[in-house]
A and B are shown apart, each in its own frame.
Chain A
Amino acid sequence: MTAVSHRAGRKKRSAAQVAIPIFMWGYAAIVLAPLLLVVLNSFRTTREIFAEPLGLPTSISFDSYTTAWNEASFSQYFVNSLTITVASVVLATGTAVFAAYALGRYKFRGSTFLSIFFLSGLLLPFRLAIMPLFLLLESLGLIDSRIGLVLVYAATGVPFSVFILSSYFRQLPVELTEAARIDGAGEFKIFGRVMLPLVRPALATVAVFQFVPLWNDFFFPLVLLRSTSKWTLPVGMTRFFGEFQSDWSTLFAGILITLLPLVILFLIATKQIIAGLTAGIGKM
């Protein structure tokens, strides 16, 4: 009897050995198929796509890309997205790293309160503040301004950056700065010469991690930017899908232009991004 159950168990296990990989690669196919479809169809003409939605390109044509890039203003949206995102990330990280140093290295009156103050920003549904924010930017003359959007984005990046960077600073041993201090170096010199180079990996993580949600954001540019010449890719996408409704080839090319920077970033920095996501901060 034991022999029978043993054999049944082995049979079951080998069935599982076949079924599990099929299941896992099958799901991977479900994930990749839409993305593959975007790539393939962007090289086909709309006529081909409509005749046969699934199919390989017969010849490689970049016409759809030229149309999307020039006629559908993707060149403009792309430059706007890139400058706004990079400027926001630099501003948020650049200000947060100083605050994180002070909070991570020193205890002073109010330091605990300040840490909590910065941390609380991670938990709040910030979009609901859009109306006061709108009026604030209007009073500053920063509605329909890329600078206004950068300031808002940078502010949303501060809590996360301070949180990650201050915990990094906290872990660095005190001896590192003692030598410099004995040599008479001031606080800013110690920060710049000794500490900053040591937190460079954390700076990279923080920057990559802010880049993704800002590049993808749709809500704030939708409300805060009016002229199409200032639009970012996600907002431009809404207009594009209206205007090029029947030109699927161009639609797929536009989608790919929007996707590509993130896919590349993800493949370059898979390790950092997965480590960051695993830390449990679902910012994206």
Chain B
Amino acid sequence: MSVKAPPTERRLRSAPSKGVGRSAPPWGTLALFLAPAFLLYAIFMVIPLVQALFFSLFEWTGTARGGFVGFRNFGELFGRFPLNEQLPRDLWHNVIFFIGTMAIQVSLGLLFAVLLQGKRYGKSFLRTTYVLPFMISPLVVGYVWSLILNPTFGPVNSTLRSIGLDSLARPWLGDPTTAFPVVILVNVWYWLGFPMLLFAAGLAAIPEDYSEAASIDGAGAWQTFRHVTLPLLTPVFGTVAILTFIRSFNVFGLVWSLAGVDGNPAGATDVLGLLFYRTAFRGGVDAFGVASALAVVMFAIIFGVSMLARWWFNRLEEGLT
């Protein structure tokens, strides 16, 4: 081809040549390249996801599908006891979980990213350490912390008792007032390294001239940070917020291992992920229908809010430039 069509070749040579744009091989060859991944992904991921939306509109008896019932499953989901009480409660818990995680993680993550910016003794050790928990299974994180916070044999309470603070020792995960805050803090311990890395990458991408220019104009370190650095980090805030939101609404294994499948004590730590699992696999005979309705609701929340947030942050970014 390159011999027959010299102009094309010259164009490819003169421009920094990338592989894109050259005439494609025959369809058969392309299909052979694309088919395995396409089929795997379509059959085991895309089709089930699309089906999940339709499942909610049918009557289910066990795993056998009956006729079309419109929105009856949604009626059951919002009206039947105890779902009608658990659903709003768990939705609220997920919102609190998101806000709590986000508040601590953004402030601490950004602070660590800033502090790790310059030359610092042990910098790469510290960074690796902060990210390390993120590699662990949420289930293991939860079990480790449930042992540490164990009311009788856990090191937290035993330390409090040994320094004379007996009154502070309590069943951290058994007390409805402390259980959920503790779950959120454990989640922060688990996940903090990730926003820190994103902020660090964001900071590294800011050209040094910007802060130099600001300091020549007489701005102090804090003013430069507040009025130059922070606005430039808007896209990173957006990414952190959206990923934290998605993750907060998907949380499952961490709460399971800290508080059991029912989100103990008395549902104080229950979240939508656990509710979905219980409804689908420990529910009654029409479980598949009601759980599918719940899946649609969760899907709408997760997908809808993250799209809205993406749009809002894009506008915010445009407003800044």
B131 within 8 A of A: yes
**How many residue pairs between the two chains, A and B, have CB atoms under 8 Å in the bound complex?**
276
Q: Which are the 10 A-B pairs with shortest beta-carbon distances?
A: A155-B44, A216-B137, A99-B37, A132-B51, A132-B48, A129-B48, A53-B155, A102-B33, A95-B36, A95-B37
* Complex: A95 Cα to B44 Cα, angstroms: 14
Question: 12 A–B contact pairs at CB < 8 A?
Answer: A25-B122, A31-B189, A95-B40, A98-B34, A105-B19, A106-B19, A106-B22, A125-B299, A127-B250, A217-B137, A255-B143, A278-B201
Residue in A125, A171, A181, A191 whose CB lies within 8 Å of B246: A125
CA distance A138 to B109 in the complex (A): 44
Is A266 located at the chain interface by the 8 A CB criterion? yes
Interface residues of A in 236-282 (CB under 8 A from B): 237-238, 241, 248, 251-252, 255, 258-259, 262-263, 265-267, 270, 273-274, 277-278, 280, 282
Closest to B292 in A: A131
For A212, the chain B residues whose CB sits under 8 A away are 135
Count of A interface residues, CB-CB < 8 Å? 107
Given contact pairs A125-B299, A274-B127, A234 touches B253 in the complex (Cβ within 8 A): yes
Q: Which residues of B contact A132 (CB under 8 A)?
A: 47-49, 51-52, 55
A267 to B273 CA separation, bound complex (whole angstroms): 32
Complex contacts, A28 vs chain B, CB 8 Å? 125-126, 129-130
Query: With contacts A129-B52, A174-B22, A277-B134 known, what are 10 further pairs, Cβ within 8 A?
Result: A25-B126, A27-B108, A54-B158, A106-B24, A107-B21, A130-B280, A173-B18, A237-B257, A241-B257, A266-B128
What residues make up the interface of A, taking CB atoms closer than 8 Å to B? Answer: 20-21, 23-25, 27-28, 30-32, 34-35, 37-38, 49-50, 52-54, 91-92, 94-96, 98-99, 101-108, 114, 117-118, 121, 123-136, 138, 151-152, 154-156, 158-159, 162, 169-175, 177-178, 181-182, 187-188, 191, 212, 215-219, 222-223, 233-234, 237-238, 241, 248, 251-252, 255, 258-259, 262-263, 265-267, 270, 273-274, 277-278, 280, 282, 284
Bound CA–CA A191/B217 (angstroms): 55
* B256 proximal to A (CB < 8 A): yes
Residues of B within 8 A of A (CB): 1-3, 12, 16-25, 29-30, 32-34, 36-38, 40-41, 43-49, 51-52, 55, 63, 108, 112, 115-116, 120-122, 125-140, 143-145, 147-148, 153-155, 158-159, 189, 194, 197-198, 200-201, 239, 243, 246-247, 249-250, 252-253, 256-257, 273, 276-277, 280-281, 288, 291-292, 295, 298-299, 302-303, 306
A216 to chain B, nearest CB (A): 4
- In contact, B19 and A49 (Cβ under 8 angstroms): no
Given contacts A37-B155, A102-B34, A218-B256, contact A259 B44 (CB under 8 A): no
Q: How far is the CB of A20 from chain B (nearest CB, A)?
A: 6
The residues of A that contact B246 with a CB separation of less than 8 Å are 125, 282
Complex Cα spacing A227 to B276, Å: 23
Q: Once the chains bind, are A174 and B280 in contact (CB under 8 Å)?
A: no
Given A105-B20, A158-B41, A174-B19, answer yes or no on A98-B36 (Cβ-Cβ < 8 Å). Answer: yes
Instruction: Assess whether B158 is in contact with A53, with CB atoms less than 8 Å apart.
Output: yes
A92 CA to B44 CA in the complex, in Å? 12
